[in-house]
Every structure is written in C-alpha cells, then in structure tokens.
Chains A and B, each alone.
Chain A
Amino acid sequence: MTTLKQQEGGAPSRKGAPRPSGTSSSRGIRKQAAATPWLFLAPYLVLFIAFVLVPIVFGAWISLHTWDYTRPLKPFVGLQNYVELFTPDSRQFANFWGAMQATGIFTLFSVPLLLTIPLAVALLMAKKFPGRNFFRAVYFAPYVLGVAVIGVLWRYLLDNNIGLVNYYMGLVGLPSDIAWTTSTPAAWVALVGVTVWWTLGFNAVIYLAGLQDIPSELYEAARMDGASAWQQFVNITIPGLRPVLSFVALTTLIASVNMFGQSYLMTQGGPGRETRTAIYQIADTGLRNFQMGSAAAMSYVLTLFLIALSLLVFWLFRERKDGR
C-alpha cells in the first residue's frame, strides 16, 4: 500500500516482501506459558465480554419481556414484543414502521449519492497536482466535526427566515422561503444533503487509497490499445476498486441505517414524525419512555434488516468469475 510508506518509521516496506504470515509456523515452535497470551488478552476481553458479548445476548433476553426500567416486575412475554411490531393495531406498529420508513427513505437517497459523489471527487484528485493534499484535507474536514456541531450549524444555515441557504437561493432566482426543517420533502433534501456534505470526504479518502493501489501499467496498456477514458474507467477502475467499493457501500449503508443525530438536531423528527428514524424511535421508546422490551425487539428487527441489506451488498459486489 502506497499510503503506508508515508507513515513515520516502523513499518517496513511491504512491496515485494513475503507475507509475514508465511513465517507463522516458526512462531509455533517458540513456546510460551499457556497463560501468557490470555494475560495479554485479559483487559480487552473483560471489556469486550461485559459490554459487547453479554449485551448482545442480554438484549435478546430483554426483548422477550415487558421490561419497564422504572417498574420492579419484568414479566416474560415470549415473542409478544415482536408480534406487536407486526400487528397493525398495536400501539407500537405505526410509530415503528413510520420510523423504519423514514430510515428507508434516508438510506435510499443518501447511499447512492455517497457512493458516486465521493468517487468523482477521488477521481479528480487521483493524479498528483499542486495543492492536492490541501484539497483532500478540505473535503475531509467536515467529517471531523461531530454530528452535534453540524446539526446545530445547519439548523442555522437552513433557517426559513434568516438562513444563508434560502438567502442565496433567492439571489439566484430560486424560491427563498423553503421550510427546510419543518416540511417534507424539503426536510429530506436537507438531511440527505447535509449528510452528504458531512461524510463525503471520508468515502473519498478511502476511494483515493483504493485508486492508488491500481497498477498504473494497466492504464498504460489500455491507452496503447486505444481505450477511451470511459472504457478505462469501466474496465480498469471499477473492477480494481471492487473490494474498496464493497467496503464503502457497506459502511455507508450501516451509517445511513443508523442515522440519528441529524434528524434529532435539525428537524426534531418532524414535521410530525416524518423524519424520525428507526434509531430515534428505538432510543425514545427505550431510553425516554423506558419500554425497553419493545425497544430491544425493535433493535433486533432493525438489525435483521441491516444484515439482509449487508448480504445484498456482499452479493452485489461478489467476485465474479472473469474479474479483470
């Protein structure tokens, strides 16, 4: 990896060196006390078991109970919490599926934009030119700001009356009185747009690293054969980026399905409940209203959706037989 070489000290050049794992058999001969590796692992495993493994199981257990945090009795109800989520006249049904729909809308619009725009940015920056690192940093910069900052900031910029966005839209002859945070579909445009602005640089950087790993000889050979820029893009860039593409698609998908802060801060889930996402609904049900059994069930249903979508991504980007 080219990027690794720029790291200070330490890392030996990877290029041409044999895979270090090939020597692992010699490590086996080197004996240590049986407990040694576990002593190294212990601090991490304590945290990992307590706050990751146990909660995964515990959450499933909670979802089988009517678990109100504020009440002493937590009766076992079997799958009732799940059944309720799928029963149209239950009290959770409309809220939950409304929120799932909101998450779906957000994901549907944000993921394609976050796959394509950062790729375009990365392609623009793939060749060396003066100031490249500066531009790369500029496009990445919003990402280091937290969602709290960007939420508060854009709430201001998108204000109906005094916001920058409406003002400049008016200047160029567009409608200047759009209620970005209090009406749909404008709120969706705002939420997706802000998210794209916020996280575009993250994906672009990963694409860039991937682009740098594609051997330039492939492009040279293609040019010799008279391939157009578009043909090079389709036949070399896209196949060469496949592992990176699938990683970006997966992380973007997971991030979009987990959207919360933007709508919590910019639209407060409104107007009405339209932009209240699944995570918002789960947090509110469990941590505001303390109906933790229901909330846990919701989180497992959402997770199943996410797993199904992830598998779909894996399948879409699977290694086909004739790769390059």
Chain B
Amino acid sequence: MSSTVETRTTRTGDPSAKPARKLRLGTLAKIVLLAVVALIFISPVIFMIVTSFKTRPDATSIPPSWIPNPFSLEAYRTLLAPGTNTPVLRWFFNSMVAAIIHSALVVVTASLAAYPLARMNFRGKKIVFAVIVATLLVPPVILVIPNYLLVSDLGWLNSLVAIIVPTAASAFGVFFMRQFFISLPDDLEEAARIDGANRFQMFTRIILPLAKPAMATLALLAFLGNWNDFLWPVYVLFTPEVQTLPPGLSTLQSANAVRYDLLMAGAVIASVPVLALFVFLQRFIIEGVSRSGVKG
C-alpha cells in the first residue's frame, strides 16, 4: 500500500499531506470498524463457549456474564456421565464414524468416476455427465420419502449406514474432481503409457498423487456436510444409542429446555471438531467453497 509509505514521510503536519494521511486513517478506521463488527458478529459463538463453562444458575443470570463465575465443568460432567438417556459421548463417536466413512466413500467414488469423465473418450460419456450434473439441481426433498422407504427395505433404518451411504452419491464431488482432472496436462499419462502403464496405474500413480489437494478439499466438504446434516438423521435415527450429534442436540433441547448450560456444552461438543478443522484448514475450506461457486 503506497499510502502507508507516504504517511511516514509526511507526519509533520504538512497540509499538502492531507490526502495521503486521510487514506491511511481511512484504512485504519476501516480495520477498527471491521474488528468491532467482527467481534459482535462472532460473539454468539463466544457466548456459547463461555456459557458451557457456567453453573446452571449462572447460565440464566441477568445481566448475562461473559466470564463464568464460578468456572465450572459441571455441564460437561453431567453430559458425559455414563448411563444418561442423552449419551453425548456416544453421539460424538457416531458422528465421527459416520462422517469419516462417508467422506472417504465420497472421495473414492467421485474420484474414480470423475477420471474417465475428464480424461477418456467413450460412448455415453456426455449423457452420463449431463445426467449427473442435472441432478445437482434436484432439490433433496424429492429424495427424502423414497429414500426413507429404500433404506427401510434395506434394513438400514436406525443404523449409521443410513446416513453414510445414500448421501454418498455426490454429484458435486464428481463435478469438482472432474474440473481438477481436466486441468492436468496430457503428457503425464502419455509418458506413463509409453512405460507400459494401464489406465488404473495411470490413475493411481500419476493422477491421484497430483490430485491430493483437491481430494483433501472434497473430503473436508463431505465431512462437514455429513457432520452437520440435520433433517435426514433426525428422521432415520431414532434411538439414543445410534443417533449422531445433530438429532441428539435436538432431543437434548426438548429434554432440557431450560438447562442452557447443558445445551451449550452439547453445542460446543458438536462444534469442536468442525471449528478445529476450520481453524487449521480454513484456507482449504474457503477456497473449496469459492471454487465450487465460481466454477459452477
């Protein structure tokens, strides 16, 4: 920023320096304003974390306190104690298992499918791709009732398979991986072919290693999507032992409508993995999202 450099030389109050200083002050004012707004913006999340460390009366005190007094782990102890009908630890474990297997399934099937769609010519390719992309526009509600019946017939109701498998046919994933594969240069496979590699070897040894960042991004997005999914798990998982965190939280809310310390502790437990992922990998997540938008 040139304005910052200029200001340094014109600090003395030379009237001709005004425009430059104004710019700098403007930038500074903008940052301060943004910081204040950002703090207000994120304060609900901060208050959620703060409240989870409060005692029961402190959580409902007026005026609301921003520092727990006293600091207490009571809510977490109550939630994580064994033998409740709201087994938060179990929900956490279920969520983790489901989200990990789901995202692995999405990445493997989408990458495999995207490869021929990006880098081979065959009859029917255009139709297959067009049909897959067209379903991006199908609102998920259409699938809810028939998939419930399918899942029920398969005996998957009230089991984690119901939230791992049916949602794994990710049209977005295929589209996303295909865009990436298309961007790779042709010579890579040419060289491998001369060395006698078959298609599968080209895929696993040449293409996939290059596609690691794209696969990581897709895995993350699939993980987040599965971890946070709400409607489907609420209706297909109905006993506490098989539920995941989102439907679990909703039963926690109806069972403990006024125990806000417990509810916030539950919400924090549900948020820790995604917030941690976000803090460490926010560049990947944000870019995955922006790329899906711009390329879409």
Contacts and interface: CB of A to CB of B under 8 A. Distances in A.
Interface stretch (B12-20, B70-78, B178-186): B178-186
Contacts of A161: 62
B261 to A, nearest CB: 10
B184 A12 contact: yes
Contact of B109 (A3, A44, A205): A44
Contacts of B22: none
A64 to B, nearest CB: 13
B168 A47 contact: yes
Interface in B123-165: 125, 128, 131-132, 135, 137-150, 152, 165
Interface string A295-322: 1100110110011001000000000000
Interface string B268-290: 00110011011000110111011
B199 A51 contact: no
B143 A56 contact: yes
Interface in A125-162: 128-131, 133, 135-142, 144-149, 151-157, 159, 161-162
A157 B47 contact: yes
- Name, among A58, A145, A159, A292, the residue most crowded by chain B CB atoms within 10 Å (CB to CB): A145
B180 A141 contact: no
Contact of A28 (B115, B121, B166, B286): B121
A236 interface: no
Contacts, number: 328
Contacts of A69: 148-149, 152
A88 to B, nearest CB: 24
Give the interface size bracket for B toward A.
35 or more
A260 B230 contact: yes
Nearest to A30: B193
A21 B182 contact: yes
B30 A59 contact: no
Nearest to B263: A152
B38 A299 contact: no
Contact of A292 (B38, B125, B145, B296): B145
Contacts of A265: 250, 253
Nearest to A163: B64
A7 B143 contact: no
Nearest to B203: A40
Interface string A254-285: 10011011001100000000000011001100
A260 B234 CA distance: 11
Counting chain A CB atoms within 10 Å of each CB, the highest count among B116, B139, B165 belongs to: B139
Contact of B275 (A28, A30, A144, A151): A144
B134 to A, nearest CB: 10
A257 B139 contact: yes
Contacts of A296: 145-146
Contacts of B286: 136-137, 140, 205
A245 to B, nearest CB: 11
B271 A145 contact: yes
Interface string B33-53: 011001001101101100100
A179 B287 CA distance: 39
A144 B274 contact: yes
A247 interface: yes
B60 A162 contact: yes
Contact of B182 (A20, A59, A128, A131): A20
A243 B296 CA distance: 9
Nearest to A198: B44
Nearest to A165: B44
Nearest to B231: A260
Interface in A41-57: 41, 43-45, 47-48, 50-56
Given A9-B213, A11-B183, A142-B45, A283 B231 contact: yes
A124 interface: yes
Given A41-B116, A152-B249, A292-B149, A147 B282 contact: no
A258 B168 CA distance: 20
A310 B186 contact: no
Given A12-B184, A41-B116, A56-B135, 12 more contacts: A10-B213, A27-B121, A28-B121, A40-B115, A41-B128, A48-B135, A149-B271, A152-B249, A206-B289, A209-B293, A264-B234, A302-B141
20 contacts: A3-B294, A10-B213, A20-B184, A51-B147, A62-B145, A62-B146, A146-B227, A146-B245, A152-B249, A152-B252, A152-B263, A155-B253, A156-B48, A156-B51, A156-B263, A167-B64, A209-B294, A244-B293, A258-B139, A287-B145
Interface of B: 1, 27, 30-31, 34-35, 38, 41-42, 44-45, 47-48, 51, 60-64, 108-110, 112-113, 115-117, 119-122, 125, 128, 131-132, 135, 137-150, 152, 165-169, 171, 174, 180, 182-186, 189, 193, 199, 203, 210-214, 224, 227-231, 234-235, 245-247, 249-250, 252-253, 260, 263-264, 266-267, 270-271, 274-275, 277-278, 282-283, 285-287, 289-291, 293-296
Interface of A: 1, 3-4, 6-12, 14, 20-21, 23-24, 26-28, 30, 32, 34, 36-38, 40-41, 43-45, 47-48, 50-56, 58-59, 62, 69, 124, 128-131, 133, 135-142, 144-149, 151-157, 159, 161-162, 164, 167, 197, 202, 205-206, 208-210, 213, 243-244, 247-248, 251, 254, 257-258, 260-261, 264-265, 278-279, 282-283, 286-288, 292, 295-296, 299-300, 302-303, 306-307, 310
